[in-house]
Amino acid sequence: MHVNNEVGAVNDLSAVSALVKTRAPNAVVHSDGVQAFCKLPFSRTAADLYSISAHKFHAPKGVGALMVRSGVKFAGGQIGGGQEKNLRSGTMNVPGILGLDAALAAYRQEQGAWISRMRACKTRLAENLLSIPDAQVNGPSPECGSPHILNVSFPGVRGEVLVNALSEREIYVSTGSACSAHQKGQNRILTAMGITSARAEGVLRFSFCPFHTPDEMDRTAQALLEQVAFLRRFQRR
């Protein structure tokens, strides 16, 4: 995984791949780049296989791509009708593929500015949220890590309650990635990081896109400041 989908930590793909190759020169290194592609500078040689999902950069849902480094032998994953150069059989999602291509072209043209915009929104929101007593960022500091994921704990308040309270103000956040939405118990990523259950219970995950604005960050921070203060009045002691 190039970027962790819960806290936005970035793995050094080139270093990981080099380490793997020193131990197993013939190994094929695959990276899940879904959370990283178009959000970070990309090197085609960092991994042998690199998978992306179109909806993560505003293209249609239901389509993705697998990048195969030149020189890597790839036999394909599905047999059948021989579509897509006999690498992935099955009827092609032509509208989805065209949408992916169009979105990618737009991102390539504006990527630097858009990454800066997401980073600015992330750091602005984080600075405001950390003014809330006991609030803590989980994972890399806002200036580091991916520019589009922020994970913050508000001890003493349940994350699910904050999600519902914010949605009433048309502010939409989550308590974790979509992949962990139906997971029972404490989030395994936060557990592996050594985060206590008290902190994990009050987690909110924020994600950013190039079309968010600083005003939206300020509105979100103010709403949370009010809601956390209100809900902590009912905290069990």
Query: How many other CB atoms sit within 10 Å of the CB of residue 40?
Result: 19
Q: How far apart are CA 136 and CA 43, in angstroms?
A: 32
Write down the residue that tokens 């509105």 correspond to. Answer: 219
Handedness of CA 209, 212, 217, 223 (dihedral sign): negative
Give residue 212's identity as a one-letter amino acid code. Answer: H
Contact (CB, 8 A) for 35 and 3: yes
Q: Strand 136-137 vs strand 64-68: parallel, antiparallel, or unpaired? A: unpaired
Give residue 124's identity as a one-letter amino acid code. Answer: R
- Is 179 noted as a catalytic residue in this protein? yes
Query: How many other CB atoms sit within 10 Å of the CB of residue 212?
Result: 20
Q: Active site residue: 38, 144, 179, 209, which one? A: 179
Catalytic residue numbers read 179
